[in-house]
Structure 1
Amino acid sequence: MNITRENVDALNAVVKVDIAKEDYSDKVEKILTDYRKTANIPGFRKGHVPMGMVKKQYGKAVLVDEVNKLLQDALNKYLTEEKLDVLGQPLPKPQDDIDWDAEKFSFEFELGLAPEFEVELKGKKAITQYNIVADDKMIDEQVERIQKQYGKLVSQDTVEKDSEITGTFTNEEKEIDNKVTLTLDKFEGKATEKQFIGAKAGDVITLKTKGLYSDEHELMHALKLSHDDVHGLDIEVNFTINEINKRELADLDQELFDKLFGEGTVKSVTELKDKIKEDAEKQFVQQADQKLLNDVTEYLVENTKFDLPAEFLTKWMQTAGEKEMNAEEAKEEYEKSEKSLRYQLIEGKLIEANDIKITMDDIKDHARNMIKAQMAQFGQMNPSDKELDDIAARVLSNQDEARRISEQIISQRLLEVYKEKANLKTKELSYENFVKEVYGDK
């Protein structure tokens, strides 16, 4: 067997594999001999079928199968030994009808080669690393939410600005008849709020659905209609007030602190606010890290310049998926996935350059920590090691889940590299201002 390679250019090559009779003949002969021992052909006892008949019936199929096996094994071995960094899989060049009666065969494969490039993390323009803090306004709002959640309802005669109003939305034409509890701050306009202020149980208030809520999901819940039904809905509905209550805030006392965090963990309002700040900022770190990861990824893809064997990859995509694509579909798919492919190559360079390795123990530890955090959310604070190991084993038995965890660990390790080596500038701001700056939300 002989394998040669011709480099078309820096990103494309053609590999030629020549297979001679001595490469496959012994294997083919052995398989046919084994067939002869077990062949069940009418008119002949088992094991006594003439070899000529076996070769005539099975010879070509066995030959084709063995040559293809040889071909794949030889090609894979060659790529490994030559340390060729290929993209996609080798593509066999189309051949006219192969003469399987010949003793020698030649096959050619197109290769798409990974480009040579360098990754520069420390760019001229600094990337913002956000430090999100829980400001006094947020902490005070969270304290009030806790007080409302654990407070008690006090009946009222008339609606006030902070009342909780239970009533029924109705509209005969649309067959709306839905009982809800609402608060006035959810409505879009002040005019709606004014209609409610001073109203009593039994009063009926007529409202227009258009512009009633800023979010259609709120209207879906209020009227118990589907998304399609509320989209563009412009009708009048009646709201009959059944009950008016005011939520009396819970006292910030030891009983509430123990209920929230366990006995003796928090002993004062100051400690409560410190705990809220600490817990909130832990969550903010995750959001800030994800933002940094996204921004560095975007920077690397935009600023790490290299060419790809686009024509080869487009051709490879036609047959690489579960469903074959035509040339136009493959071109469209390549254009959609090019950015992702570029980052995969960049990521591979960074992993190699920074000697990032992941062991099975790393994956197990990550799974255990993830499971422990999830259990804590449901009040299970001290699961046993055996319990964690058993659940982790079940999770990791799913290959997709194990791969997802592995990818999470790689992202964490790369994030550490970015924080250490990238050109970053730190910006401290409140969560509200972070959302405004990053997402443009109000």
Structure 2
Amino acid sequence: MAPRLTVIGTGYLGATHAACMAKLGFEVMGMDVDAEKLAELAAGRAPMYEPGLDELLAEQVASGRLRFTTSYQEAAEFGDVHFVSVGTPQLRGEFAADVSYINTAFDGLAEHTARLGKEALIVGKSTVPVGTADRLAARLAETAPTVEVAWNPEFLREGFAVQDTLRPDRLVIGVRSQRAEDLLREVYAEPLAAGVPLVVTDFPTAEMAKVSANAFLATKISFINAMAEVCEAAGADVVQLADTLGYDDRIGRRFLNSGLGFGGGCLPKDIRAFMARAGELGADQALTFLREVDSINMRRRARMVELAREQCGGGFLGKRVAVLGAAFKPNSDDIRDSPALNVAGQIQLQGAQVTVYDPKAVDNARKMFPALAYADSAVEAARGAHVVLHLTEWQEFRDMDPSELEGAVSEKRILDGRNVLDPDKWRTAGWTYRALGRPQR
């Protein structure tokens, strides 16, 4: 008989994982302390925008394979394999990760599972400081000896989360027993049969897999943005430079896109937590380069503000600025550590009237940045603007014809913070086009 699964924490990761496991044919129960969120999920509505997820949730709830609860006891009674997908945010005032939600989830499951005398496997999916799994396993060995621990990091890309769960580019499981490995092989039988590579390893290696991947990607992004700084000083073109580098198979073109830099709920806090944990382990010198990676990333935001100020004649007072984009990346409504909103907020604080438009993230942005103005379209956001800032590379903006905005703006000036617009198209239409790391013509 197939194991029954629970997913503890139904945010971005948990909601996607629960729906996808039900799609693979398992009976799944999602557990969360937020009853309002669960009501939305049970109605087939995800707590965030993710392409295809609403439809998948509705389909799996209707099938009867997916249900939800606020009770640890009910989850413990239901499940054989429990996936823990709660958040590990950055501690306030520190670089380290807050693992209190992880501790609570493991303790809550273990308490009720031990009372029932059940055998169970608790699988961490959250990104945690290396050593967390060992610590939790030791704790559970004393309080719930029938409960085993495993670690199975996620590698989801926002905007592609459903396909990344159903057909990931690799699966990593950190286990200590053949039973745990066999259970997870059964859970992931379909993607494994389709040829998805599986890495079976120990706890520390599994924990480091995600944070190391994020550190590498952040480093690659900051590398090309450092090159953009030099390109601006030298009059070179960073986009052509990235294309040239990308032909080298050892380097590759992906994640070599210069611009406003990275944000979101993973890369920034994960590299900081990685540095903090390395320091605790006595290996702080190994990751000092990540401080510069972080610094380069933050400098891109400051440089965009400088460019906008230049385009406004040296100051923002009395100027109107249109910002296209609020989400930290396209195909998402996630505004956590959004470079676009960070820039918009800085410009607004310096005296400009800033109006923001995003296809999906306006509601979330309004809650976090109520002092900014918001619009329902790019044209409305650009009305009367002295400069337009393109800060999140939605396809809608990439496809936009300059003529759509020219009747609305006060001055035809556009700053491309993502280096994806066609400079020739905008310049031919009479616009002043500037971008990070590209020569001014």
TM-score class, shorter-chain normalisation, is under 0.3
**Which is helix-richer, 1 or 2?**
1
Flag the structure with larger Rg: 1
| Greater RCO, CA 8 A, separation 6+ | 1
TM-score by length of 1: 0.19
